[in-house]
């Protein structure tokens, strides 16, 4: 079917669009302030425009989500509230009636006064006590008086859509992100949380399967206070450092002056009578929501944090850059590293230095050398990806720069990266890397085949680019912090290899590009698993270990499962398995059967055991992607880079 949605850039509209299009339906998405490229501008207060756009698109259903929902704004702008919430609903309903189109309209528990001692049903008479509730009730009445084939669904405390969430859940998370350790939850306001995914699924079910039109309550089962919701969030996200404190409504009177019903608890009476099951218990719903959208942000803990900032830091108005570095046994590199980051020509640099439980004096030595930033002692060794994520969660910059602990650089490194980013901000920028002794070129962005396997992008001297850049080496990744969070950060389960490939791959999926910055130069001690500079010399045999091969192979397989659409996994994964089989046979024929088993068989066993984790990560990136696999593949190569490596390096010696 074809759906026309108004107010589609909000929490519910975002979920509806993704769910309905995934189910194979055609969706025309409109909003007063479009936030997505697929959304068209429409003001529901413009009666003629509403009529012409709906008529032009000729949908089966119009779903009216357009509304002003901020209670305080509605109190201060009552005419605008009624024009939108009542007048807009009337304009949509009149058009639907005129064109013979069915309509869905969204209502709210806010139409009730809150004085009832029992949950509200569809039979209860509304009696709103604020401008928002009155304007929504007026809109409901307009739809009821005009339409014959319609659904009106009343929602409770809405939650969903991650960064589009403007309600209680995301407000709490923003407080936590700002460093608050005390969260206040009301105990005298009761209601029913409503997960946008469940609510959208209910709309999809009813518009596809039912002609029993009318007004329905559609909220999660059970009820709770705001305090209960905050407590559940603390439990699910493991926020052990946060204290949830009970308060009454008077506590927020200055900030939230609009009158609010004491009880907005509703039950889905009509659904229950008809045996329709579309909504889960609120605790199950909020658990799924938090796990899908937010768990990755809060699962890394610090055991100790040392913080130091010089007076006036960040006061010149230029964007702050957070240099995030994860270190292990780094004491011998600390002096040169901190000399580099402390003496950049770009002044607004904060260092977020994460020590992954080093057994040496890395942490204490780093504390002596810090100029601006934080030295974080992680609660456990999270690996490179987990350590970087821990550092990112403590960053305050507009940009985040992942810099290897065993590096030093040109003093204009950060300045040149910022200059590139300010010209074209929503991208990843790759620094130019040389070996630690400054003698050999390593990379300035790296190419990839369709499996995420790397290849040389430049000539060995770094002067000529041979292939398209796909990813930025993990020792020099520069990007906006907001975009890093958006793509789900680095995958901590990759631990050591391919986390940078995965990060750039996900960035491509949301419309970003990887841009080399040749004048941003750094020097790196190690060029990866194949030796200094990334490649052995001509007279050296490629030597690695089965543990390294295992980690690299397991992570490539995981990236394929996470980042491709299912129909492409069906050919990419078997293709890669054939390559692995050829490698397995080659190692076996050269007397390395045991190493081959440890490397390849164990990689597949690991992925089978960790499939649930992979699917959770997959759901996160597939939900926010804006580019198809085909568009991403334009930056990749179809000829397997392992064949090129075989021609250049030969069959490796894999030590145990």
Dihedral, CA of residue 589, residue 590, residue 591 and residue 592, to nearest 10: -100
pLDDT value, residue 296 = 65
- Give the closest residue to 363 by CA, choosing from 329, 338, 396, 406: 329
Mean pLDDT to the nearest integer, 482-496 = 81
- 650 pLDDT band (50/70/90 cuts)? low
Contact indicator for 378, 302 with CB cutoff of 8 Å: yes
Beta bridge partners of residue 128, listed in sequence order:
none
CA distance 573 to 549: 18
pLDDT value, residue 534 = 40
- 243 pLDDT band (50/70/90 cuts)? confident
Residues, the chain, total?
656
DSSP 111: G
* Residue 347 exposure: Cα atoms within 13 Å on the Cβ side: 10
- 417 pLDDT band (50/70/90 cuts)? very high
Q: Is the pLDDT of residue 403 over 80?
A: yes
Structure confidence by residue, pLDDT tens digits, 563-606: 999 999 999 999 999 999 998 998 899 888 988 898 899 999 99
Q: Nearest-5° angle of CA 296, CA 70, CA 53?
A: 95
Higher pLDDT, residue 247 or 655: 247
Structure confidence by residue, pLDDT tens digits, 14-26: 999 989 998 999 9
Model pTM greater than 0.75? no
Cα dihedral 219, 225, 226, 231 sign: negative
- Give the closest residue to 369 by CA, choosing from 344, 339, 349: 339
Lowest mean pLDDT among 328-337, 471-480, 609-618: 609-618
> Which residues, including other chains, have CB under 8 Å from residue 15's CB and lie 6 or more apart?
160, 161, 196, 197, 199, 200
- 314 pLDDT band (50/70/90 cuts)? confident
Q: How far from 482 is each of 29, 169, 249, 392, 423, CA to CA, in Å?
A: 25, 19, 33, 10, 17
Structure confidence by residue, pLDDT tens digits, 429-447: 999 999 999 999 999 999 9
Report the 10 Å Cβ neighbour count for 272: 13
Structure confidence by residue, pLDDT tens digits, 166-203: 888 988 988 877 667 788 889 988 999 999 999 999 99
pLDDT value, residue 251 = 67
CA distance 494 to 554: 8
Structure confidence by residue, pLDDT tens digits, 30-59: 999 999 888 999 999 999 999 999 999 999
CA distance 219 to 251: 27
DSSP E strand boundaries for 489-554: 514-524, 543-545
- 366 pLDDT band (50/70/90 cuts)? very high
Q: How far from 431 is each of 79, 421, 518, CA to CA, in Å?
A: 54, 12, 7
DSSP 471: B
CA distance 295 to 615: 14
Q: Is the pLDDT of residue 519 over 60?
A: yes
Can you list the domains of the chain with their CATH numbers? 2-297 (3.40.50.720)
């Amino acid at each position: 079917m074809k759906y026309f949605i108004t107010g589609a850039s909000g929490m519910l509209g975002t979920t509806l669009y993704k769910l309905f299009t995934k189910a194979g339906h055609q969706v025309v998405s409109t909003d007063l302030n479009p936030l997505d490229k697929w959304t068209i501008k429409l003001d529901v207060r413009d009666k003629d425009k509403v009529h012409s756009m709906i008529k032009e698109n000729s949908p089966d259903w119009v779903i009216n989500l357009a509304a002003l929902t901020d209670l305080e704004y509605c109190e201060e702008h009552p005419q605008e509230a009624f024009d939108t919430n009542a007048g807009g609903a009337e304009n949509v309903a009149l058009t639907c009636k005129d064109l013979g189109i069915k309509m869905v309209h969204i209502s709210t528990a806010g139409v009730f006064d809150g004085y009832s001692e029992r949950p509200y049903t569809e039979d209860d008479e509304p009696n709103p006590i604020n401008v928002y509730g009155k304007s929504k009730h007026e809109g409901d009445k307009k739809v009821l008086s005009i339409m014959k084939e319609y659904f009106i669904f009343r929602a409770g405390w809405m939650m969903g859509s991650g960064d589009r969430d403007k309600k209680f859940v995301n407000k709490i998370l923003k407080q936590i992100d700002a460093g608050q350790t005390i969260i206040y939850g009301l105990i005298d306001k009761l209601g029913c949380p409503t997960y946008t995914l469940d609510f959208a699924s209910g709309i999809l079910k009813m518009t596809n399967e039912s002609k029993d039109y009318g007004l329905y309550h559609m909220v999660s089962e059970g009820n709770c206070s705001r305090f209960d919701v905050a407590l559940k969030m603390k439990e699910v996200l493991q926020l052990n450092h946060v204290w949830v404190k009970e308060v009454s409504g008077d506590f927020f009177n200055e900030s939230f002056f609009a009158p609010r019903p004491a009880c907005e608890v509703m039950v889905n009476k009509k659904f229950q009578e008809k045996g329709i099951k579309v909504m889960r218990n609120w605790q199950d719903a909020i658990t799924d929501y938090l796990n899908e959208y937010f768990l990755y942000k809060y699962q890394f803990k610090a055991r100790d944090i040392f913080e130091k900032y010089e007076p006036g830091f960040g006061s010149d108005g230029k964007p702050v850059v957070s240099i995030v570095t994860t270190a292990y046994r780094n004491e011998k590199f600390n002096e040169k590293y901190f000399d580099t980051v402390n003496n950049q020509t770009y002044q607004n640099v904060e260092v977020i230095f994460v020590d992954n439980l080093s057994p040496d004096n890395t942490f204490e030595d780093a504390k002596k050398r810090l100029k601006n930033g934080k030295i974080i002692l992680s609660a456990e060794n999270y690996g490179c990806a987990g350590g970087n994520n821990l550092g990112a969660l403590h960053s305050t910059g507009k940009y985040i720069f992942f810099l290897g602990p065993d590096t030093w650089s040109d003093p204009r490194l950060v300045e040149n990266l910022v200059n590139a980013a300010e010209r074209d901000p929503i991208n990843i920028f790759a620094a130019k890397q040389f070996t630690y002794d400054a003698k050999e070129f390593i990379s300035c962005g790296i190419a990839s085949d369709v499996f995420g396997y790397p290849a040389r992008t430049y000539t060995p001297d770094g002067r000529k680019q041979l292939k398209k850049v796909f990813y930025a080496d993990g020792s020099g990744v520069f990007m906006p912090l907001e975009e890093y969070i958006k793509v789900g950060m680095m995958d901590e389960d990759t631990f050591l290899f391919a986390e940078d490939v995965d990060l750039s791959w996900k960035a491509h999926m949301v419309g970003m590009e990887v841009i080399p910055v040749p004048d941003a130069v750094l020097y790196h001690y190690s060029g990866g698993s194949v030796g200094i500079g990334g490649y052995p010399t001509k007279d050296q045999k490629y030597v690695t270990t089965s543990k390294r091969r295992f980690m690299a192979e397991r992570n490539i397989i995981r990236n394929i499962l996470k980042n491709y659409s299912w129909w492409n996994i069906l050919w990419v994964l078997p293709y890669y398995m054939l390559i692995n089989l050829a490698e397995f046979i080659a190692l076996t024929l050269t007397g390395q059967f045991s190493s081959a088993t440890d490397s390849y068989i164990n990689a597949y066993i690991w992925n089978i055991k960790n499939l649930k984790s992979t699917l959770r990560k997959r759901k996160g990136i597939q939900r926010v992607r804006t580019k198809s696999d085909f568009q991403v593949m334009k930056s990749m190569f179809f000829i397997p880079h392992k064949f090129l490596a075989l021609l250049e390096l030969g069959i490796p010696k894999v030590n145990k």
